[in-house]
């Protein structure tokens, strides 16, 4: 019976692991619901600010914001990468980092200079390990995508754009499609593309562009404010989506882990019972053999 004790210990340890993965699965499930709510709540703001931006770009503004102006030469690219802070969420971060890396390789081959802003610990770790030029970072966001924490890192990127350090800015994150599916996506942040600006309002478009807002105190600072908030809202939305993706990916991964642990336990129990029976059979045949010899 030397092997059976070891098997029993192994079963116990797998059972403990299973308890942990079960607990993590349930935690992720409840966090996922909250993260999805938050993602949905962020949408009205994004839509409203897009409407304002659309009105503004259509109105006869005397000042055109740099975010709206397409540049001819693209020599330097800013990249915002949104990842999770923690692991144990399947291929979520790997997928988005791989997408980013492939794109970066392509850009580098075209002779463009790259600077990276990392949101989330996993992306930061990866980018600094491979030696990318990280210009700003936010980590330890927690479970709520707090806009106050994002402002600083985003500002570094936006300033880089307005000061001509970048000609374009892209964002990589995981789009939440449903609980089972998340998709790594790349989107252009700056300059703001037409579809981003026009999108919502194009249905009831007013061809008459002879009106303009009254700006208080002045046009430039107000437009600057709106534009910065718009880009922040886009990034916030991306972070919120990425968090919902993270929680659902973790839930799925932990469910798989619990199932696997269950399989392992079943197999080990089978082996344990077999070895127990073998031992009994052996003992019996020894006794019978001994009795026959006498």
Interface positions with other proteins (CB under 8 A): 38, 41-42, 44-45, 48-49, 51-52, 55-56, 59, 90-91, 94, 97-98, 101, 104-105, 108, 114, 117-118, 124, 126, 128-139, 146-148, 151-153, 155-156, 159, 211-217, 221-223, 225-226, 229, 232-233, 236, 256, 260, 263
Between CA 116 and CA 128 the distance in angstroms is: 10
Q: Which is nearer to other proteins, 48 or 274 (CB)?
A: 48
Q: In the complex with other proteins, which residue's Cβ is closer, 131 or 142?
A: 131
- Please report how close the Cβ of residue 225 comes to other proteins at its closest, in angstroms: 6
Distance of CA 229 to the CA centre of its chain: 21
Rounded Cα distance, 82 and 71, in Å: 25
Q: Residue 30 CB, nearest distance to other proteins (Å)? A: 19
- Rounded to 10°, the helix 92-109/121-130 angle is 40
**DSSP designation for 217:** S
Least distance CB 144 / other proteins (angstroms): 8
Look-up: residue for tokens 């020599």? 75
Angle of the 92-109 helix axis to the 219-293 helix axis, nearest 10: 130
Which residues are CB-neighbours of 202 under 8 A, at least 6 positions away?
none
CA distance 124 to 83: 8
Give the C-alpha separation, 56 to 197, whole Å: 10
CB of 13 to other proteins, least distance (A): 19
CB 80 within 8 A of CB 169: yes
289 C-beta neighbours (distance < 10 Å), count: 9
Longest Cα–Cα distance in the chain: 117
Beta carbon nearer to other proteins, 28 or 92: 92
Q: How far is the CB of 194 from other proteins (least distance, A)?
A: 20
Closest distance between other proteins and the C-beta of residue 179, in Å? 18
| Nearer residue to other proteins within complex by CB, 256 or 280 | 256
CB-wise, 142 or 289, nearer to other proteins? 142
Choose between 28 and 235: whose C-beta lies nearer to other proteins: 235
């Amino acid at each position: 019976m030397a092997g059976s004790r070891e098997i029993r210990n192994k079963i116990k340890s797998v059972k403990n692991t299973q308890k942990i993965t079960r607990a993590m699965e349930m935690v992720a499930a409840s966090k996922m619901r909250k993260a999805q709510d938050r993602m949905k709540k962020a949408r009205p703001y994004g839509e409203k600010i897009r409407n304002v931006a659309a009105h503004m770009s259509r109105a006869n503004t005397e000042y055109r914001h740099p975010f709206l102006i397409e540049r001819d030469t693209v020599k330097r690219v800013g990249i915002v990468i949104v990842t999770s802070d923690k692991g144990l969420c399947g291929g979520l971060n790997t997928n988005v980092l791989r997408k980013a890396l492939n794109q970066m390789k392509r850009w580098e081959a075209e002779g463009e200079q790259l600077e990276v802003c990392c949101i989330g610990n996993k992306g930061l770790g990866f980018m600094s390990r491979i030696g990318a030029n990280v210009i700003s970072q936010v980590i330890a966001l927690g479970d709520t995508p707090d806009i106050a924490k994002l402002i600083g890192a985003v500002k570094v990127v936006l300033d880089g754009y307005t000061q001509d350090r970048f000609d374009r800015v892209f964002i990589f994150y995981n789009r939440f499609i449903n609980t089972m599916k998340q998709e790594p996506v790349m989107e252009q942040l700056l300059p703001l593309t037409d579809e981003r600006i026009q999108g919502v309002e194009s249905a009831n478009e007013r061809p008459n562009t002879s009106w303009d807002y009254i700006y208080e105190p002045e046009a430039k600072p107000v437009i600057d404010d709106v534009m910065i908030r718009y880009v922040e809202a886009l990034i916030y939305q991306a972070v919120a989506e990425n968090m919902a993706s993270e929680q659902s990916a973790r839930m799925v991964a932990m469910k798989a882990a619990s199932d696997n642990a269950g399989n392992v336990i079943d197999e080990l129990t089978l082996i344990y019972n077999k070895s127990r029976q073998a031992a009994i059979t052996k003992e019996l045949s020894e006794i019978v053999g001994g009795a026959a010899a006498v």
